[in-house]
């Protein structure tokens, strides 16, 4: 077990237009579950492969548990990995697959057998040890891949989208199982995914990557509630965060954001933006929709319902507010017809403010 | 089911009328039966029949010929030596290609040229190297390693003749194995090798535990093909040594063209056929996998 | 942001560059091995070219200098002027071209059938075709010679062509099958929807798309025919192909003739591989299985 330190990692693939990772620095604490999240091509897999040693960085440094491993061969890093394709050897039985790493390290046969049966027990593979992978289902193959990785008792566990090839139902159940397993083992884990739900549910911390850089790194709740920039807010959440564009004006000694003919209160820390454009970010589930006239106050905007989508656990409304589109998540029992007017309450503590130029979160309060 | 068949009716009837696949296959089957099947039967018949019905006389003549036993020995020896070296060499070449060296395109081009060089041409190419006044001896003399060179192709010296034929065969036919193995290597997903690396396998362990087992189908094809083709080797030795280093197929040619005896030639040819079929069957039996793992 | 900037002050161990150096040595080793194998493959070709373009005196010189002292064409010209060379060259070209046409005529429909239809006996047919591949040519050439004598086509271009066509059949069928598989069916079906007959649809849509692949298969067949020596040697007497001619005159010809002949036979191989490089892996990789 060990911590991971990444410093200014730069990796450009030959012939590529830009760098795959562009000066990434990240600290993963001992025993921490760190998720690398981002859209495809953001460099998250490259980062993972660099930690594994399957790619070498152009510059920067990787330290695992006080040992520099930047250019070390993968086999000397004492880590293990779960591949997206599972990479379970088709020509070896399940037991030999799980024991592969131990065997090439020259461990005694009965010791291997003991450890393999321990790992097989954990992942409910005991009945399949004598089978070839061709006779297993996708989910079982994935279990073999995980068992093979944990049996090594590695310093660091790397996982490259391990759930993406499973069907939706299996993914959900295995996600919970994986979380429990890694929690019990307490191994430092680096986990790559493009699925925000996976990231939020599994990670102790989530690092959101965008074009080779870390846009934000923090606990899942923080990343979700306080997106560091508009990209993170738009990438996390389904539907994503809404961004309203308006002009900051003065109203007595308070500030207000003018959105079309309506306006909404703004904190006084935003004074430097007076008279300028500014973006208001708000999550669809943070807004409360009601009949117009029921609520009045500084935090209310009116809008027209365009589309109503009942989703079972909630009702998704697409609204038009002063020419800008808003997605609003209303409770499951909410009934409204397209074309009708609604008042939207935007609670003060759920409003996030972004600089329209840099798209960065503006610290208020 | 009912409506499914209904919608497919037009399609199926159309197919049945216009193009039974056998109609398309027929020309090739007729051609092969005529040019390969019939002669094969004829060859077997002529090898066993003389002026007065069935006879083993041709076979007695064949086995009484000292050249034939030599040819049999040489051919088998050539296979035993050349084929394993070729497999290993081709594997090394394929792995080198996999390491993406600089100028890999040029290397690949040069390594595959012999694929298109005929046996005869290959023999002549190496004749320019191994001839008494050839380039190898010139090289040796220029370096001062030898006074007047080695008589590689002297009819007394079976060993050096054997070496020259082995080298020429290696040069000519390793390309084929190489291309088969490279195609096989390319079909193995990279993940397996990377997984082995991450789990701590050294280069040799990766080769032994991952690459070789996954390459098995390609290696089998290469092994069977090369053995059968090596049994038919002939023109390389002919070009290098004439009849001084006889090979089985060369004897067939000799009996037919120079000794004008088609029946004995057929008998010799049947020996080649028997060996081909025998080794193929033996290989297939030995390689049958214990488990159907795909 | 805050989390990682907080600990930048941490003292990290120095970057270990030893693995990089090891890697560099390994790469150098790979490079050296590649060069060594390339030399083994290329040098003999250089030598035969040198020999073919040396004069009589230079060929007899010993020890030869490895840097050619002169460029002489008389070895090549005397080979070309030798009895039978030019007609043999012509025969080789004729046989090669006829073989290409015939084998496509016989083999391509079979390849199309294998690619587009599933039918009982498909495996049996493929096995049959592959079996033919395993038959030694020498077994067939002797009875074939007798047969052709009876039909009165012994020692004719047509007889060699027939044998080469049969020899090329397995590869032609399997290669064309793989080509037709790669041409999508819906193009053909679209053409039929717009009113083409079955044959028309194949002619207008499939053939143009398959043409590059068919060209590759043709070159392949041509080289097979160009290189085949034993069948041609047994089946001809006066109308030999070039390899058969060279083989037949090996015994009584001077070395200069052999070198020139060898060079003449090698040149097409250089061109062939240069043209076919891209197709090589696909063809051999998939068709041999």
Is A218 an interface residue toward C (CB < 8 Å)?
Answer: yes
The residue segments making up the domain with residue C41 are: 17-72
pLDDT at residue C189 above 50?
yes
Return the CATH number at C109. 1.10.3720.10
Taking CB atoms within 8 Å and a gap of at least 24, the contacts of A133-141 are A133/A88, A133/A89, A133/A90, A133/A92, A133/A94, A133/A97, A134/A90, A134/B293, A134/B294, A136/A94, A138/A86, A138/A165, A138/A166, A138/A167, A138/A170, A139/A166, A139/A170, A139/A174, A141/A86, A141/A88
pLDDT of residue C1: 42
Higher pLDDT, C251 or A156: A156
Minimal Cα distance from B213: which residue of A? A91
CA distance B249 to B272: 7
Instruction: Identify the burial level of A231 via C-beta atoms within 10 angstroms of its C-beta, where 0-12 means exposed, 13-18 middle and 19 or more buried.
Output: middle
pLDDT at residue C289 above 80?
no
pLDDT of residue B289: 55
Residues B257 and B136 in one domain: yes
Mean pLDDT of chain C: 82
Tell me whether residues C4 and A214 touch, CB distance under 8 A: yes
Cα-to-chain-centroid distance, residue C197: 36
Residues B106 and B45 in one domain: no
Residue B60 lies inside a defined structural domain of this protein:
no
- The DSSP output letter for C48 is H
pLDDT of residue A1: 62
Restricting to C residues 8-27, those with a Cβ less than 8 Å away from any Cβ of A are 8, 10, 12-20, 23
pLDDT of residue A298: 66
Chain A environment of C10 (Cβ under 8 Å): 5
Residue C148 lies inside a defined structural domain of this protein:
yes
pLDDT at residue A279 above 90?
yes
Residues B47 and B156 in one domain: no
pLDDT of residue B20: 76
**Final residue belonging to a domain, choices C51, C72, C93:** C72
- Residues near B66 by beta carbon (within 8 Å), at least 6 away in sequence: none
Return the CATH number at B214. 1.10.3720.10
Residues B120 and B42 in one domain: no
Cα-to-chain-centroid distance, residue A319: 28
pLDDT of residue B6: 42
Number of domains into which chain B is organized: 2
Residue C11 lies inside a defined structural domain of this protein:
no
Residues C35 and C132 in one domain: no
pLDDT of residue B292: 40
- Residues near C183 by beta carbon (within 8 Å), at least 6 away in sequence: C206, C209, C210
Number of domains into which chain C is organized: 2
Residues C29 and C143 in one domain: no
Point out the residue among B109, B135, B183 whose CB comes nearest to the CB of C284: B183
B213 contacts A91 by C-beta, under 8 angstroms: yes
Residues C61 and C157 in one domain: no
Residue B110 lies inside a defined structural domain of this protein:
yes
For C52-98, what is each residue's pLDDT tens digit? 888 777 777 777 776 776 777 888 888 888 878 889 989 999 999 99
CA–CA min distance C14, chain A (Å): 7
Residue B61 lies inside a defined structural domain of this protein:
no
Residues B100 and B196 in one domain: yes
And the tokens for A265? 């209160």
The residue segments making up the domain with residue B7 are: 2-54
Residue B59 lies inside a defined structural domain of this protein:
no
For A96-130, what is each residue's pLDDT tens digit? 999 999 999 999 999 999 999 999 999 999 999 99
Does ipTM exceed 0.90?
Answer: no
pLDDT of residue A135: 92
Mean pLDDT of chain A: 92
Restricting to B residues 48-77, those with a Cβ less than 8 Å away from any Cβ of C are none
Domains in chain A, start-ordered, CATH in brackets? 4-234 (3.40.50.300), 242-354 (2.40.50.140)
- How many residue contacts between A and C have a Cβ separation below 8 Å? 45
Length of chain C: 289
A213 contacts A338 by C-beta, under 8 angstroms: no
Taking only the tens of pLDDT, chain B with its 294 residues reads 444 444 444 444 444 434 578 888 888 888 888 888 888 888 888 888 877 778 888 888 888 888 999 999 999 999 999 999 999 999 999 999 988 888 888 899 999 999 889 889 999 999 989 988 888 988 888 888 877 778 888 888 889 999 999 999 999 999 989 988 988 888 889 999 999 999 999 999 999 999 999 998 888 888 888 888 888 888 899 888 888 899 998 888 888 888 888 888 888 888 988 888 888 888 878 776 544 443
CA distance B270 to B248: 10
pLDDT interval class at A232 (50, 70, 90): very high
Higher pLDDT, C234 or C2: C234
CA distance C238 to B112: 34
Restricting to C residues 67-96, those with a Cβ less than 8 Å away from any Cβ of B are none
For A49-66, what is each residue's pLDDT tens digit? 999 999 999 999 999 998
Residue C256 lies inside a defined structural domain of this protein:
yes
Residues C102 and C187 in one domain: yes
Residues B265 and B228 in one domain: yes
For B240-272, what is each residue's pLDDT tens digit? 888 889 999 888 888 888 888 888 888 888 898
Is B208 an interface residue toward A (CB < 8 Å)?
Answer: no
Residues C62 and C126 in one domain: no
Sign for the CA dihedral angle at A117, A119, A121, A124 comes to negative
For C237-287, what is each residue's pLDDT tens digit? 888 888 888 888 887 788 888 889 899 889 888 888 888 776 766 654 443
- The model's pTM: 0.85
Minimal Cα distance from B196: which residue of A? A101
pLDDT of residue B16: 44
CA distance A275 to C260: 90
Chain A environment of B294 (Cβ under 8 Å): 90, 134
Average pLDDT rounded to a whole number, residues A65-76: 93
pLDDT of residue B221: 81
């Amino acid at each position: 077990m060990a911590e991971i330190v990444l410093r200014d990692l730069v990796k450009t693939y030959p012939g590529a237009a830009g760098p795959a990772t562009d000066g990434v620095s990240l600290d993963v604490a001992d025993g921490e579950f760190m998720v690398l999240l981002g859209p495809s091509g953001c460099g998250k897999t490259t980062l993972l492969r660099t930690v594994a040693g399957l790619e070498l960085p152009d510059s920067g440094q990787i330290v695992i548990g006080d040992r520099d491993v930047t250019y070390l061969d993968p086999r000397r890093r004492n880590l293990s990995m779960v591949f997206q394709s599972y990479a379970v050897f088709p020509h070896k039985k399940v037991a030999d697959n799980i024991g592969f790493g131990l065997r090439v390290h020259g461990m005694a046969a009965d010791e291997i057998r003991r450890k393999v049966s321990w790992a097989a027990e954990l992942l409910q593979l005991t009945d399949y040890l004598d089978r070839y992978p061709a006779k297993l289902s996708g989910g079982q193959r994935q279990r073999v891949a995980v068992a093979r990785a944990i049996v090594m008792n590695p310093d660091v566990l790397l996982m490259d989208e391990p759930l993406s090839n499973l069907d939706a139902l299996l993914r959900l159940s295995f996600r919970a199982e994986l979380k429990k397993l890694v929690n019990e083992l307490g191994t430092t884990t680096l986990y790559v995914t493009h699925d925000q739900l996976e990231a939020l549910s599994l990670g102790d911390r989530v690092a959101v990557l965008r074009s080779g850089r870390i846009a934000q790194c923090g606990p899942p709740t923080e990343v979700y509630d306080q997106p560091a920039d508009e990209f993170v807010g738009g990438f996390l959440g389904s539907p994503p965060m809404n961004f309203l564009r308006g002009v900051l004006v003065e109203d007595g000694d308070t500030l207000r954001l003018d959105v079309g003919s309506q306006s909404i209160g703004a904190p006084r820390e935003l004074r430097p933006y007076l008279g300028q454009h500014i973006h208001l970010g708000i999550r669809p589930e943070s807004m409360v929709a009601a009949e117009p006239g029921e609520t009045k106050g500084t935090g209310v905007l009116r809008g027209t319902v365009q589309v109503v989508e009942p989703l079972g656990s909630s009702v998704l409304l697409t609204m038009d507010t002063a020419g800008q589109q808003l997605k609003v998540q209303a409770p499951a029992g909410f009934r409204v017809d397209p074309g009708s007017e609604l008042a939207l309450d935007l609670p003060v503590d759920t409003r996030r403010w972004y600089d329209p130029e840099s798209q960065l979160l503006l610290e208020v309060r | 089911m009912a409506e499914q068949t209904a919608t497919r009716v037009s399609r199926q009837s159309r197919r049945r009328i216009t193009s039974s696949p056998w109609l398309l296959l027929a020309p090739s089957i007729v051609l092969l039966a005529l040019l390969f099947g019939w002669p094969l039967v004829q060859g077997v018949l002529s090898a066993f029949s003389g002026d007065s019905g069935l006879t083993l006389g041709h076979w007695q003549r064949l086995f009484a010929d000292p050249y034939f036993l030599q040819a049999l020995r040489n051919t088998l020896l050539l296979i035993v030596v050349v084929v394993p070296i070729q497999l290993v060499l081709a594997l090394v070449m394929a792995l080198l290609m996999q390491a993406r060296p600089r100028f890999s395109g040029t290397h690949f081009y040069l390594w595959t040229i012999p694929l298109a060089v005929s046996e005869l041409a290959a023999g002549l190419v190496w004749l320019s190297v191994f001839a008494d006044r050839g380039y190898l001896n010139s090289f040796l003399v220029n370096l001062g390693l030898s006074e007047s060179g080695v008589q590689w192709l002297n009819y007394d010296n079976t060993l050096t003749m054997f070496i020259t034929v082995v080298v020429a065969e290696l040069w000519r036919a390793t390309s084929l194995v190489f291309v088969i193995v490279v195609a096989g290597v390319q079909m193995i997903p990279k993940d397996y090798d990377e997984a082995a690396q991450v789990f701590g396998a050294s280069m040799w362990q990766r080769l032994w535990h991952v690459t070789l087992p996954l390459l098995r189908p390609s290696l089998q094809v290469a092994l069977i093909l090369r053995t059968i083709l090596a049994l038919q080797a002939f023109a390389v030795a002919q070009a290098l040594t004439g009849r001084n280093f006889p090979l089985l197929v060369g004897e067939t040619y000799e009996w037919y063209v120079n000794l004008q005896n088609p029946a004995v030639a057929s008998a010799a040819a049947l020996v080649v056929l028997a060996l081909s079929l025998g080794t193929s069957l033996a290989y297939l039996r030995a390689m049958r996998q214990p488990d159907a793992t795909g | 942001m805050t989390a990682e900037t907080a600990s930048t002050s941490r003292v990290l161990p120095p970057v270990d560059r030893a693995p990089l150096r090891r890697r560099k040595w390994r790469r150098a080793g790979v490079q050296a091995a590649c060069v060594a194998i390339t030399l083994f493959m290329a040098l003999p070709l250089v030598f035969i070219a040198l020999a073919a373009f040396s004069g009589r005196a230079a060929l007899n010189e010993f020890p030869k200098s490895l840097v050619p002292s002169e460029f002489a064409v008389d070895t090549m010209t005397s080979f070309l002027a030798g009895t039978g060379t030019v007609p043999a060259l012509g025969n080789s070209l004729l046989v090669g071209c006829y073989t290409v046409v015939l084998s496509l005529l016989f083999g391509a429909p079979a390849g199309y059938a294998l690619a587009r239809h599933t039918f009982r006996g498909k495996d049996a047919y493929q096995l049959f075709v592959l079996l033919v591949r395993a038959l030694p040519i020498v077994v067939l050439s002797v009875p074939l010679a007798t047969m052709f004598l009876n039909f009165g086509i012994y020692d004719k271009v047509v007889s060699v062509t027939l044998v080469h066509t049969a020899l090329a059949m397995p590869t032609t069928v399997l290669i064309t099958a793989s080509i037709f598989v790669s041409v999508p069916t819906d193009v053909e079906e679209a053409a039929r929807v717009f009113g083409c007959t079955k044959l028309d649809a194949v002619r207008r849509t499939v053939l143009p798309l398959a043409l590059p692949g068919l060209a590759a298969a043709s070159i392949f067949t041509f080289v097979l025919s160009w290189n085949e020596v034993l069948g041609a040697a047994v089946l001809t007497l006066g109308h030999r192909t070039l390899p058969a001619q060279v083989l037949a005159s090996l015994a009584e010809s001077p070395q200069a003739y052999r070198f020139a002949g060898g060079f003449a036979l090698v040149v097409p191989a250089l061109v062939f591989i240069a043209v076919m490089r891209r197709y090589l892996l696909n063809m051999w990789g998939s068709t041999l299985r």
